[in-house]
């Protein structure tokens, strides 16, 4: 579904991605792991068209997308749930959700999609008239995921969905990611929480210094000694 080849990205003179190669098959959950500043967020932002690549190719369902504006990439079926949730705290939960239906096709179906979101996240229905900024961190993360799903994407990109959340809530977020995949949406996520991410994902990639240092099936990666030492403290 998604194929990234030889991707290089710079911010000014700083080369952040040197050579990233990565693929996501339809129906998978794929985790991108790595230390702070490795280039994980940059990889996601480049897929979504928020950052332009210096070189390399990105294709989605066989179509080249690198260099396209982000609205065109969204229309092809990629939705990005950013790090830090980025909700409009002074707007209601429901209005935040409607903002996610940003493509013409999604806008047409927005009321039906909203009903589906309320089925997936019942608490959101209860809180729909509250300001999003008043919700707990976990609930805000659920709203951010639901807002991205309002675009009816084929591929959902999640940047650090567990950031700053209590362990019990992190488990709930990963359960939601399972449900999203079961509903037919492919998921690419960046995580610092390596154990949980690989517990949920089918496959993973470890990015170090702007390139893929390690890749494989999630269970195989969990058993990898290098990864255990670097990220799991084993
Ligand atoms: P983290 O987990 O800390 O978010 P990351 O792997 O997601 O790390 P990126 O956010 O992709 O890393 O950042 C990679 C490098 O690029 C870092 O050194 C960061 O300081 C730098 N960087 C990120 N955004 C910009 C920007 N807009 N301008 C300049 N440098 C940037």
For residue 158, how far is its CA from the centre of ligand 1 (angstroms)? 16
Mean pLDDT to the nearest integer, 175-198: 93
Residue 116 CA to residue 100 CA, distance in Å, equals 14
Rounded (10°) angle between helices 167-182 and 110-120: 130
Please report the pLDDT score of residue 227 as a whole number. Answer: 86
Ligand 1 neighbourhood includes 38 CB (under 6 angstroms): yes
Task: Tell me the pLDDT band of 85, cut-offs 50, 70 and 90.
Answer: confident
Place of tokens 């959902």: 156
Query: What is residue 230's predicted lDDT score, i.e. its pLDDT?
Result: 84
CATH number for 2-232: choose from 3.30.470.20, 3.30.1330.10, 3.40.50.300, 3.30.930.10. Answer: 3.40.50.300
Rounded mean pLDDT, 95-101 = 94
Residue 180 tokens read as: 């999203």
CA of 105 to the centre of ligand 1 (A): 33
Residue 213 has pLDDT above 90, yes or no: yes
Nearest Cα residue to atom 3 of ligand 1? 36
Least trusted range by pLDDT, from 44-53, 97-106, 223-232: 223-232
pLDDT at residue 50 tops 70: yes
Give 146's contacts (C-beta < 8 A, 6+ positions apart): 97, 100, 117, 120, 121, 124
pTM of the model: 0.93
Listed in sequence order, the residues at least 6 apart from 222 whose beta carbon sits closer than 8 Å to its beta carbon are: 195, 198, 199, 228
Q: Whose CA is nearest to atom 26 of ligand 1?
A: 11
Which two structure tokens, joined as six digits, stand for 26?
């339809």
């Amino acid at each position: 579904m998604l194929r990234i080849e030889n991707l290089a990205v710079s911010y000014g003179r700083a080369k952040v991605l040197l050579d990233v190669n990565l693929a996501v098959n339809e129906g998978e959950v794929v985790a991108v792991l790595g230390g702070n500043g490795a280039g994980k967020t940059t990889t996601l932002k480049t897929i979504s068209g928020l950052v332009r690549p210096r070189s390399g190719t990105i294709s989605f369902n066989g179509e080249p997308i690198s260099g396209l504006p982000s609205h065109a990439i969204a229309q092809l079926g990629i939705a990005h749930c950013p790090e830090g949730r980025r909700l409009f705290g002074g707007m209601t939960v429901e209005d935040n959700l409607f903002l996610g239906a940003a493509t013409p096709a999604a806008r047409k179906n927005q009321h039906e999609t909203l009903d589906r979101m309320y089925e997936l996240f019942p608490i959101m229905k209860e809180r729909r008239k509250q300001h999003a900024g008043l919700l707990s961190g976990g609930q805000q993360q659920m709203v951010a995921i639901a807002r991205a799903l309002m675009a009816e994407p084929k591929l959902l990109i999640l940047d650090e969905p567990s950031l700053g959340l209590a362990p019990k809530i992190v488990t709930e977020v990963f359960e939601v990611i399972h449900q999203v995949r079961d509903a037919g949406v492919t998921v690419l996520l960046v995580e610092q929480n390596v154990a949980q991410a690989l517990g949920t994902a089918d496959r993973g990639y470890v990015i170090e210094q702007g390139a893929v240092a390690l890749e494989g099936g999630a269970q195989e990666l969990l058993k990898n000694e290098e990864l255990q030492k670097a990220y799991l403290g084993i």
